[in-house]
A = this chain, B = another copy of it.
Amino acid sequence: MITVEEAEQIILAQLKDYGTGTVPFEQALGRVLAEDIKADRDLPPFNRVTMDGIAIAYKAIEQGISTFNIKATQAAGEEPIGIDNTNECIEIMTGAALSSTLDTIIRYEDLEIKDGTAKLLITDIKQGQNIHQKGKDKMQVDTVAAANQLITPAIISLAASVGKARLMVKKQPRVIIISSGDELVDVADTPSDYQIRRSNNYTIKAVLSQHGLDADMLHIPDDPEITKQQIQTCLQKYDVILLSGGISMGKFDYVPQALEDLQVKKLFHKVKQRPGKPFWFGRHNNGVLVFAFPGNPVATFMCLHRYFLLWLNETLGLPSKPPIYAQLAEDFTFTPQLKYFLQVKLTFTKQGVLLAQSIEGNGSGDFANLADTDAFMELPLERNEFKQGEVFPVIKF
């Protein structure tokens, strides 16, 4: 049985570039940027007025002028209007492009405007005040956002600013979520006394959608021929198959045999961890990856976050996520020789310390507790006793 770290290494050795495509910028939220976004003009593209008021030439202040004739009024978006003499000013609005004859803005609050003149009510005036200088944020052709980062609202905004109406993004792997077994019925169906409803597939789909990935779903009945045929189709149509349950020693688990018959090579089976010990991972010759998560809902949830989302992050070329560390809020003991993923609820102390409160379920199969927790705390394999105040990494979900 391999360790969590060995499983991670084997999975991260299977990175693949799925290519790029373009999407309208406003639909690119949550995707991975595949090109540098460059400024098409200086940002701002002109000396931009940041207060409503008047624009003057600062040398007028040096000359002792304190009342100005209003030569004209300039709205934002209009062609700049200049002055001919330093005793003139332009009444000007926020967002307007400043004429080269002007270099200082006095806001309305500091003025008395009467009979076509503006009189200064203050004396403390700095040259260049209330102007956002051309090119101060970025110069033309500067990169405003570099490739290989997640597209956030800030990136959407930058794309809009520089007129990038379409963005080149990383293509996502095509993912299918497969459930199997005649004991599982659909949510809208009424299970017999001996059946339960499918839920892991919906959990997986919801988590993936939080990460911008739209996965398909398929349920395979307990029939060896259908199982083989449907998995064969999936190996042709998808890049990744996510299975939940169905990989075990059970007599009616036809999935392992189908995978073997279809030349999906096992890269590992079983990891020194709880939950999720029977996690299976394999790869077809054509590059399709198969993550077969254990059927236990908490195990599926943990493995999805700990392994698949990590792989997805790396395969899309995103920088590795910086680790999150939290302090254990109370002592905890776990004796099996497995790395334990403890369900915890995270809060911040007023000292800025992330505190992890354990919320132990009735067993690893109790999914209900996941609704009350935020994260798994990853407790080292080598130890059995974990003390209050000790710090360990956590995986937020």
Contacts and interface: CB of A to CB of B under 8 A. Distances in A.
Interface in A132-162: 132, 136-138, 144-145, 149, 152-162
Nearest to A356: B352
Interface string A362-382: 110111101100000000000
A196 B95 CA distance: 9
Given A95-B181, A163-B190, 9 more contacts: A26-B202, A45-B191, A52-B248, A75-B222, A79-B194, A153-B206, A154-B301, A161-B367, A163-B187
Interface of A: 25-26, 29, 43-46, 48, 50, 52, 73, 75-80, 91, 93-97, 108-109, 132, 136-138, 144-145, 149, 152-165, 181-184, 187-188, 190-200, 202-203, 205-207, 209-210, 222, 245, 248-253, 295-297, 301, 322-327, 347-355, 361-363, 365-368, 370-371, 391, 397
Interface of A is mostly: loop
A153 B207 contact: yes
B91 A181 contact: no
A105 B352 CA distance: 48
A367 B94 contact: no
B154 A203 contact: yes
B251 A182 contact: no
27 contacts: A26-B206, A29-B209, A46-B194, A52-B248, A52-B249, A52-B250, A52-B253, A75-B250, A76-B181, A76-B252, A77-B183, A80-B194, A93-B250, A94-B248, A94-B250, A97-B193, A97-B194, A108-B249, A149-B371, A161-B197, A163-B188, A163-B197, A325-B349, A326-B352, A348-B354, A351-B391, A354-B354
